């Protein structure tokens, strides 16, 4: 295995890992394939070094990633009632401390490493490896493991492949370089199997997931002279279809896929009354990362999100204005 970016200095991370006995891995709320794949690859590498490792995600693990090795080690963790403090916490793929769902007090007691590729990352760790050149945090973990001289097992290769596959939308995003393909090829050589992985990740939808897709597409609105596409999911749609938040993760891509659409927006019901989860996708020149940032969220140039307060109509009106501005 080779480094994707050989100029990154992993030494502070490696030293912190060497000095620690108990290590906690964590990713953002509503974790995705990148967060989970990064955690599970690093988990295997760390336990093989004799570390005591736990994976503590506020929202556990999405169903479709249960096929990955050590998936059963992911705890749906209640940080609020947590008593112990590990020697080291490693945050993976999370752009802000708030998105970890972890109380501030825990950070004061232990060393926190922040490994992430979001350009908006707030560098909230004691050690921060934040590098937006990477297509996925999983590719950063790959570089870390190469630096640690870890031999890639088939399970490690599979976990990292899943991270890269999902964060590049199947090698389609603008961050998919020739070297990313070379890394993917090396992972396949190490035992990652593209088709079984695709079946698990993309060909295992729940029926409820298809039903909410149908309901969500009914809400489609085209604005800004054909350059923005809007869809939403409200509480009733979740209720009527039996779908959950995991089932709605990919819906926004349908809105962006329309010819001529530059910005897609998905507004989803939030578990807290009077709040809305907003996802943005851009296709070419629009920067939805900056847009989400200005609304208190964050992300990448072409994929970002935020949470917004108010009634649905109020939230939508605010976002409509912002989107029209960046498309003007």
Binding residues (CB under 5 A) for Mn ion: these are 34, 93, 137, 167
Nearer to Mn ion, 134 or 276 (CB): 134
- Residue 11: CB atoms within 10 A of its CB come to 9
We find the least distance from the C-beta atom of residue 300 to Mn ion, in angstroms, to be 8
Shortest spacing between CB 312 and Mn ion, in angstroms: 28
Q: Which residue lies nearer to Mn ion by CB, 93 or 246?
A: 93
* Residue count (the chain): 328
Q: Which is nearer to Mn ion, 56 or 300 (CB)?
A: 300
Beta carbon nearer to Mn ion, 39 or 167: 167
Phi first, then psi: give them for residue 293, nearest 5 degrees.
-60, -45
User: How many other CB atoms sit within 10 Å of the CB of residue 113?
Assistant: 22
Q: Of the candidates 40, 33, 29, which has an alpha carbon nearest to the alpha carbon of residue 250?
A: 33
β partners of residue 231: 266
Q: Mention every residue, 6+ apart, whose C-beta is less than 8 A from residue 243.
A: 206, 208, 209, 211, 212, 237
- Residue number with the smallest Cβ distance to Mn ion: 34
Number of H helices, E strands in the chain: 12, 12
Please give the full DSSP string across 60-85, using - where no structure is assigned: ---GGGTTSTTGGGEEE--GGG----
Q: Which is nearer to Mn ion, 93 or 247 (CB)?
A: 93
Nearer to Mn ion (CB atom), residue 31 or residue 86: 31
* CA–CA separation, 303 and 153 (whole Å): 31
CA distances, 163 to each of 28, 57, 137, 189, 242 (Å): 14, 16, 7, 17, 27
C-beta closer to Mn ion: residue 91 or 137: 137
Question: Which residues of the chain form beta strands (DSSP E)?
Answer: 22-27, 52-57, 74-76, 88-92, 111-116, 127-130, 221-223, 228-233, 263-269, 275-282, 298-299, 303-309
Q: How far, in Å, CA of 173 to CA of 180, rounded?
A: 11
For residue 167, the minimal CB distance to Mn ion (Å) is 4
Residue 168 CB, nearest distance to Mn ion (Å)?
10
CA distance 260 to 264: 11
We find the least distance from the C-beta atom of residue 166 to Mn ion, in angstroms, to be: 8
CB of 247 to Mn ion, least distance (A): 20
Residue placing its CB nearer to Mn ion in the complex, 190 or 304: 304
For Mn ion, the closer of residues 34 and 143 by Cβ is 34
Closest distance to Mn ion from the beta carbon of 314 (Å): 30
Q: Least separation, in Å, of the C-beta of 104 and Mn ion?
A: 24
Closest separation in Å from C-beta 154 to Mn ion: 23
- Under DSSP, the state recorded for 168 is T
């Amino acid at each position: 295995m080779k480094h994707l970016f050989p100029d990154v200095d992993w030494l502070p991370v490696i030293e912190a890992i060497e000095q620690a006995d108990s290590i906690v891995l964590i990713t953002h709320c509503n974790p995705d394939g990148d967060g989970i794949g990064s955690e599970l690859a690093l988990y295997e590498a760390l336990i093989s070094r004799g570390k005591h490792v736990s994976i503590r995600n506020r929202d556990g693990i999405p169903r479709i990633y249960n096929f990955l090795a050590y998936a059963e080690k992911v705890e749906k963790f209640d940080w609020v009632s947590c008593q112990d403090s590990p020697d080291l916490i490693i945050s993976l793929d999370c752009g802000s401390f708030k998105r970890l769902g972890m109380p501030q007090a825990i950070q004061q007691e232990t060393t926190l490493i922040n490994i992430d590729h979001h350009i908006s990352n707030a560098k909230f760790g004691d050690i921060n490896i934040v590098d937006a050149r990477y297509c996925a945090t999983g590719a950063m973990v790959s570089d870390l493991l190469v630096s640690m001289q870890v031999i890639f097992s088939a399970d490690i290769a599979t976990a990292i492949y899943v991270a890269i596959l999902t964060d590049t939308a199947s090698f389609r995003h603008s961050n998919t370089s020739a070297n990313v393909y070379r890394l993917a090829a090396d992972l396949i050589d190490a035992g990652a199997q593209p088709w079984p992985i695709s079946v698990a990740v993309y060909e295992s939808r729940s029926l409820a997931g298809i039903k909410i897709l149908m309901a969500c597409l009914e809400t489609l609105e085209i604005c800004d002279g054909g350059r923005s596409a809007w869809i939403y999911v409200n509480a009733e749609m979740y209720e009527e279809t039996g779908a959950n938040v995991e089932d709605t993760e990919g819906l926004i891509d349908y809105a962006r896929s329309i010819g001529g659409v530059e910005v897609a927006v998905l507004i989803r019901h939030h578990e807290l009354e009077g709040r809305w989860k907003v996802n943005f996708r851009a296709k070419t020149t629009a920067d939805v990362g900056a847009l989400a940032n200005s609304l208190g969220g964050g992300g990448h140039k072409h994929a970002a999100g935020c949470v917004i307060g108010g009634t649905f109509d109020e939230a939508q009106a605010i976002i409509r204005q912002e989107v029209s501005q960046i498309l003007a």
